[in-house]
Structure 1
């Protein structure tokens, strides 16, 4: 992963999908792959509540 593009003048010949892959790789290299994965994981919805768990003595 890097923060720079291709330097052999191949970028204009890429398809749109290839350019999107290149953009994603450059962004991931700049931000950091681990930081990017943690940011994507935090987008998942979380419950705003939790049920209380305890064992009550019976008898």
Structure 2
């Protein structure tokens, strides 16, 4: 999943589904057990999408 998301980010860096892609990346990292990478992805998501409805899912 992470490889497909990275490819999507490469091909469509600012595409219409960028927010959803970045959320899926966070979820995949969390599910893989890589807590440090998931936290980093969550911080990047919050910074890039401060008004996202998905922010609550990312924790504090």
Q: TM-score range by the shorter chain?
A: 0.3 to 0.5
Larger Rg: 1
